[in-house]
Amino acid sequence: MISNKKLAIDFDGTIVDDAYPGIGKTKTFAFETLKKLQSEGYRLILWTYRHGKTLDEAVEFCRNNGIEFYAVNSSFEGEVFDPKDASRKIDADLFIDDRNLGGFPGWGEIYNIINQRIEFRVDGGTVLAYSKMIKDKKKGLFW
């Protein structure tokens, strides 16, 4: 299935281990998963706190690992952000971040969540296992 969905992806703690302002060790399967998602038509947006030199370094690091982003810290390439006229919230279908509810499950699980349209939920103080939460074949609200 070819997708045109936009995925907003954090850098520190998600693509690499958090070592800000440096660049940490690449997370296991990060670039393999991002390349696979890109090959399936997902538009990848780098959505990070980084700016200036540290942002340029992150973009170059990803480029050197085979990932060119659809946009960086914006909804689409070339978007001009003016805080008087626009919100910092970007237009994306999914946000992948190490600070998601329940934390970062790893790139293998991220791929399964996206590919199999798996949901998860918090029950009390417990995040239920992603693999136990596969949606019924019916179309859901967001898919």
**In degrees rounded to 5, what are phi and psi of residue 132?**
-90, 0
* 136 confidence band (pLDDT: 50, 70, 90): very low
| Residue pair 41/33 in contact by the 8 Å Cβ criterion | no
**Domain enclosing residue 107, as ranges:** 6-118
Per the domain annotation, does 131 fall within a domain?
no
Assigned domain for 137 exists: no
pTM: 0.75
CATH number of residue 110's parent domain: 3.40.50.1000
On whether residue 24 sits in a domain, the answer given is: yes
Is residue 7's pLDDT more than 50? yes
What span, in angstroms and rounded, lies between the C-alpha atoms of 94 and 117? 11
Specify the amino acid at residue 18. Answer: D
In a domain, 89, yes or no: yes
Instruction: Return the higher-pLDDT residue of 82 and 28.
Output: 28
| 141 inside domain | no
Q: How confident is the model at residue 137 (pLDDT cuts 50, 70, 90)?
A: very low
Nearest one of 5, 69, 97 to 42, comparing CA atoms: 5
Predicted confidence (pLDDT) at residue 141 exceeds the cutoff of 80 = no
Whole-angstrom Cα distance, residue 16 to residue 119?
24
* Residue 143 included in any domain: no
Checking if the pLDDT of 130 tops 60, the result is no
- Vertex 28 angle, CA 59 and 33, to 5°: 65
Q: What is the pLDDT of residues 33-53, one digit of tens each?
A: 999 999 999 999 999 999 999
Does residue 105 have a cis bond before it (omega within 30 degrees)? no
The confidence band for 4, taking pLDDT boundaries of 50, 70 and 90, is confident
Number of domains in the chain: 1
- Asked whether residue 87 is assigned to any structural domain, the reply reads yes
Residue 11 has pLDDT above 50, yes or no: yes
d(CA 69, CA 143): 23
DSSP 10: -
Q: How far apart are the two ends of the chain, measured CA to CA in Å?
A: 13
Q: Is residue 17 one of the residues assigned to a domain? A: yes
Tens digits of per-residue pLDDT, 69-108? 999 988 876 666 666 666 677 888 889 998 876 778 889 8
Reported as half-sphere exposure (CB side, CA atoms, 13 A), residue 103 has a value of 6
- Confidence (pLDDT) at 133: 47
CA distance 91 to 51: 19
